[in-house]
Structure 1
Amino acid sequence: MSSTVINNFSGCFVALITPMFENGDVDYMGLRKLVDWHIASGTDGLVILGTTAETATLTEQEQALILDVAIEQNQKRVPIIVGNGSNCTRSMIEKTKQLDKLDIDGYLTVTPYYNKPSQKGMVEHFKAVAGATTKPIIIYNVPSRTGVDLYNKAVFELMEVENIVGIKDATGDLSRVTAMKQQDPSFLLFSGDDLTSQHYVSLGGDGVISVTANVEPELMHKMVKASKADNQKEAELYDEKLCLLHRDLFIEPNPVPAKWALKEKGLISSDMVRLPLLTMEPNNHQTIKLALQHVN
Structure 2
Amino acid sequence: MNQTNSATKNQSQQIQTVAQTRLWTALVTPMLLNGDVDFVTLEKLAIEQANAGNGIALLGSTGEGLALTPTEQLSVVKCVCALSLTVPLMVSVGGYNLPNQLAWISQCNDLEISAYLLTCPIYTKPGEVGLTHWFSELLEQSEHPCMIYNIPSRSGINIPLAVMKNIQSHKNCWAMKEASGDMDTFKSYAQQCPELDIYSGEDAMVAHLLEAGVKGLVSVAANVWPQATHRYVNMALAGQHQTLFPIWDKAVEALFQVASPIPVKVLMHLTNRLNYPTLRAPLTALEITDNPFALKSLMAIDIEINQWLEQSQS
- Please give the range of the TM-score, normalised by the shorter of the 2 chains: over 0.9
* Map 1:34-53 → 2, pairs under 5 A: 34-43=45-54, 45-53=55-63
Native 8 Å contact 2:146 2:172 kept in 1: yes
2:154 to 133, 142, 145: 145
Native 8 Å contact 1:190 1:205 kept in 2: yes
Following superposition, which runs of at least 4 residues in structure 1 exceed 6 angstroms of deviation?
Answer: none
SS in structure 1 of the partner of residue 112 of structure 2: coil
Once residues 61 and 28 of structure 2 are traced to their aligned partners in structure 1, the CA distance between those partners, rounded to angstroms, is 9
For residue 141 of structure 2, what is the amino acid of its counterpart? A
Which residue of the partner structure matches residue 69 of structure 2? 59
2:233 to 224, 233, 236: 224
1:247 to 250, 253, 274: 253
Moved more, 3-12 or 95-104: 3-12
1:134-169: per-residue Cα shift (whole Å, max 9, x none)? 311111110101112102222122112221111110
Moved more, 235-244 or 86-95: 235-244
SS in structure 2 of the partner of residue 22 of structure 1: coil
Native 8 Å contact 1:97 1:132 kept in 2: yes
Which residue of the partner structure matches residue 85 of structure 1? 94
Task: Count residues in correspondence.
Answer: 291
Higher relative contact order (CA 8 A, sep 6+): 1
Once residues 245 and 42 of structure 1 are traced to their aligned partners in structure 2, the CA distance between those partners, rounded to angstroms, is 21
SS in structure 2 of the partner of residue 261 of structure 1: helix
How far has the Cα of 1:218 moved from its partner?
Answer: 1.3
Moved more, 126-135 or 12-21: 126-135
For residue 255 of structure 1, what is the amino acid of its counterpart? P
Which residue of the partner structure matches residue 298 of structure 2? 288
SS in structure 1 of the partner of residue 204 of structure 2: helix
* Map 1:91-110 → 2, pairs under 5 A: 91-110=100-119
For residue 275 of structure 1, what is the amino acid of its counterpart? A
Once residues 222 and 265 of structure 1 are traced to their aligned partners in structure 2, the CA distance between those partners, rounded to angstroms, is 20
1:136 to 120, 132, 145: 145
Once residues 247 and 13 of structure 2 are traced to their aligned partners in structure 1, the CA distance between those partners, rounded to angstroms, is 33
Once residues 66 and 235 of structure 1 are traced to their aligned partners in structure 2, the CA distance between those partners, rounded to angstroms, is 35
Which residue of the partner structure matches residue 310 of structure 2? none
1:19 to 22, 30, 34: 30
1:87-109: per-residue Cα shift (whole Å, max 9, x none)? 11121111111111111111001
For residue 124 of structure 1, what is the amino acid of its counterpart? H
In structure 1, runs of 5+ residues without a counterpart are: none
Structure number with larger C-alpha Rg: 2
How far has the Cα of 1:76 moved from its partner?
Answer: 3.9
Which residue of the partner structure matches residue 30 of structure 1? 41
For residue 4 of structure 1, what is the amino acid of its counterpart? Q
Once residues 142 and 64 of structure 2 are traced to their aligned partners in structure 1, the CA distance between those partners, rounded to angstroms, is 25
TM-score for the superposition, normalised by structure 1: 0.92
How far has the Cα of 1:111 moved from its partner?
Answer: 0.3
SS in structure 2 of the partner of residue 131 of structure 1: helix
1:192-230: per-residue Cα shift (whole Å, max 9, x none)? 11121222245211111111111112122122222333x
Instruction: Give the % identical residues.
Output: 27
Which residue of the partner structure matches residue 207 of structure 2? 198
How far has the Cα of 1:180 moved from its partner?
Answer: 3.3
SS in structure 2 of the partner of residue 161 of structure 1: coil
Which residue of the partner structure matches residue 68 of structure 1? 78
SS in structure 1 of the partner of residue 175 of structure 2: strand
RMSD: 1.7
SS in structure 2 of the partner of residue 165 of structure 1: strand
